[in-house]
Amino acid sequence: MPPAGAWRPWRRPSPLAGARPTPAQLAAAADGPARDDVPPLPGDAESAGLVRLLIVDITACRQAFDRPGAVLGVQPVTDESGAPWVPGWPDGVALWALPNPSGLNVHETAATLAQKWREVWAATGAPPASLRG
């Protein structure tokens, strides 16, 4: 536990707290029917005033947006034909995908993950100050 008053990144509590589905279970769920009780992500992003959305799992990004060719880093705004990469995606909201340091990405190190996060922070225009003082 960090000392009182120490900086900590904010994390939204997971709706799956305590339950960790396997990649196979996630893939099977992605092929299932859409849930009507979950609002579409682009609308959520727009109403929240987001300027960037980061998905920490390249496979999740590929499956969520049906883009098997998604690569690590910022995703394109349009595809090869000029059509929106994600139909209905709000203008000005960058979509980033980074590796999840488990499973197939276990080869990532703290240094390589840190470099990828630095790229995202740099894209915000305000890289974080060192927490080491």
CA-wise closest residue to 50 among 41, 37, 60, 61: 41
Residue 103 CA to residue 22 CA, distance in Å, equals: 9
Instruction: Provide the pLDDT for residue 127.
Output: 59
pLDDT at 131 over 70: no
Instruction: Provide the pLDDT for residue 38.
Output: 45
Q: What is the pTM of this model?
A: 0.56
Q: What is the mean pLDDT of residues 39-61?
A: 65
Higher pLDDT, 20 or 37: 20
Q: What length does the chain have?
A: 133
Domains and CATH numbers, the chain: 40-123 (3.40.470.10)
The residue type at 53: L
The residue type at 100: N
The enclosing H or E element of 52 equals strand 52-56
Residue 14 CA to residue 33 CA, distance in Å, equals: 22
pLDDT at 10 over 60: no
Percent of the residues in the chain that have a pLDDT greater than 90, as a whole number: 1
66 — alpha (psi -120 to 50), left (phi > 0) or beta? left
With a CB cutoff of 8 Å and minimum separation 6, the contacts of 5 are none
